[in-house]
Amino acid sequence: MGKVVLVNPANTTVGYSVITPRWLFVIAGATPADLVGDPVIIDEPVTRFNPDEVGPGDIVGVGIHTGNCRPGYRVVSEAKKRGATVIVGGIHPTIFPDEPLQMGADAVVKGGGDLIWSNIIRDALDGRLQRVYDGGRVPGEQMVKARWDLLDPSKYLMGSIQTVAGCPENCSFCSVWVTEGRTPRMHLNDQIIEEANELHAMGFRYVFFADDNFNPATVGRIARETNSGTQRLLEKVREDRMRLFDEYDRAGPSSLYAFTQMTAEVISDDEYLDAMHDKMRVRGALIGVESFTEEGLKDANKMWNPVGQRMVEAIQKIQDHGIIVLASIINGLESDTVATLQTMREFAVASGTAFAQFPIYSVYPGTKDYHEMLRDLKNRDQTGYVPKHAAQFIRDKFWLDFDHTELTVKLPHLSNEDLAREAAESWRTFYCLKAIFKRVRGPLSWMSLSGKLFYAMACIGFMSLYPNGIAADNVRKNKLSFFNRICLRVVIMITRAGRDLFRIRRRRPIVKQGQEVFAAESHGPRF
């Protein structure tokens, strides 16, 4: 009997990874051990796939998204040459199911694999494998629990837990709402808590809540909804989220801290923000700022986002609640100019956000922008055709180019040279030692000494690991220097110490002589 090998392809292998690739261990949990035993896990950011270790009778499952297509197809080719059966799944095959088949895969899985993976294995063993399977969107209560017992925890900074899938928004540059849907699907509370306790027992003290949007139903989002049926659904989602927070607070590990990603609309809901910090122990979040200009937010179809100074205040409010912010600011939206990029750089510095990233805009498959710009590319020369976008798609299937950069469109107001220069300058300005020192003396002065040390090393590591913006570890192309490897190892050791590195001093009201005043309140002892 052959074995099942699950591969998370990567451009480079460095021996360590920041976040555990959740899909690997979920599909491992869906693998029928009674038929094929425990699957072999290969996470290429940590360990390179060795094709000589697979052969006829083996089943190789490869998960890919647009950013790691090329290494994914390398694994497909190498495994096929050894006679293995190769099955490809992930976001990219969900959008383009024919492409992996053309690259040599035996079968493709569209959508989630939680519920159909065991049937696919049976079909492969019985010699009746279909070319395309569709797992659809897995209901929250049927999402498979990850097999963390197959993980080597010493190789990762953070574990990963999913609490909700889907996002109610429809940003034009994002494919999440296309592939995962706009109706939030909650994972079972008991399984969330069980995974958290398991990861904590394995030594993890920080996890990533790998949700498409951690706050899909805050007070502000519910109030903004115009469809009464959807509004009632979101109200129910919010009730379910608050119930999860209460149960997690009671039964989850008290010294497991979390990072996640969410929208700035969370500022509309103080109760939600407080529960995130106090009950779910969230200490950091990526916030999709996208742009500090109204025109940029229109480009992103995110007009409900706070703009300009209001976004600065939103970032400050989130951090005042004890949740440090990674502000994601897109460089190269259709309306951007050199002046707007420089202004956004100034806003980022002025906001006091702990981290910022300045990714260059790229048109990814499955997004609204991709379909519209591809249509423009194909029809632009036709008489009477009016393009939807002033920006021009340079070429389709850019992800198959070995040396492709993030410059996938020709912008109307920016040359590619100006865009690359301004984005690089934003990174340099925000992460220079002077700026880091200024933040720890100013908006981040509440951090403990250990927290400040961790923060400084995290800034250095962030620039080294993600020079084009945070992404899955299997997308990274640059190899880490010896110094950066040491920094990453030290950061892993610090996080395993079990300390709340980002503990903040909060203010609590007290009554003195009939008058309400405020006193500092520390969440636990400082060190």
Over residues 154-164, the pLDDT tens digits come to 999 899 999 99
Beta strands in 111-200 (DSSP E): 132-134, 156-161, 164-165, 185-186
- CA 348 to centroid of chain Cα atoms: 20
Reference 288, options 263, 271, 323; nearest CA is 263
What percentage of the chain carries pLDDT values higher than 90? 75
- In this structure, are residues 277 and 503 in contact, taking their beta carbons and an 8 Å threshold? no
pLDDT above 50 for 513? no
Query: Does a structural domain hold residue 469?
Result: no
% the chain with pLDDT above 70? 89
Does residue 188 sit within a domain?
A: no
- Which has the higher per-residue pLDDT, 264 or 399? 264
Listed residues 95, 118, 140: the one ending a domain = 140
Query: What is the pLDDT, as a whole number, of residue 329?
Result: 96
Would 401 be classed as within a structural domain? Answer: yes
Residue 355 falls inside a structural domain: no
Distance from the Cα of residue 331 to its chain's centroid = 18
pLDDT in tens, 445-476: 877 787 788 888 888 777 766 666 666 666 76
User: How high does pLDDT run on average in the chain?
Assistant: 89
Residue with tokens 């002077």: 434
**Mean pLDDT (whole number) for 310-322:** 94
Residues ≥6 apart with Cβ < 8 Å to 239: none
In a domain, 18, yes or no: yes
The total domain count for the chain is 2
CATH number at residue 47: 3.40.50
Residue 108, domain member (yes or no): yes
- Within a domain: 131: yes
- What pTM did the predictor assign? 0.90
Q: What is the mean pLDDT of residues 58-63?
A: 98
> Of 140, 155, 179, which one is at a domain's C-terminal end?
140
Is residue 129's pLDDT more than 90? yes
Residue labelled with tokens 């497909």 = 76
**Residue 367, domain extent:** 363-405
For the segment 239-248, what is each residue's pLDDT rounded down to a tens digit?
999 999 999 9
Q: Are 283 and 322 in contact (CB under 8 A)?
A: yes
Distance of CA 353 to the CA centre of its chain: 18
Q: Mark which of 97, 113, 140 sits at the end of a domain.
A: 140
Whether residue 115 is contained in a domain is answered as: yes
- Predicted confidence at residue 305, as pLDDT, reads 96
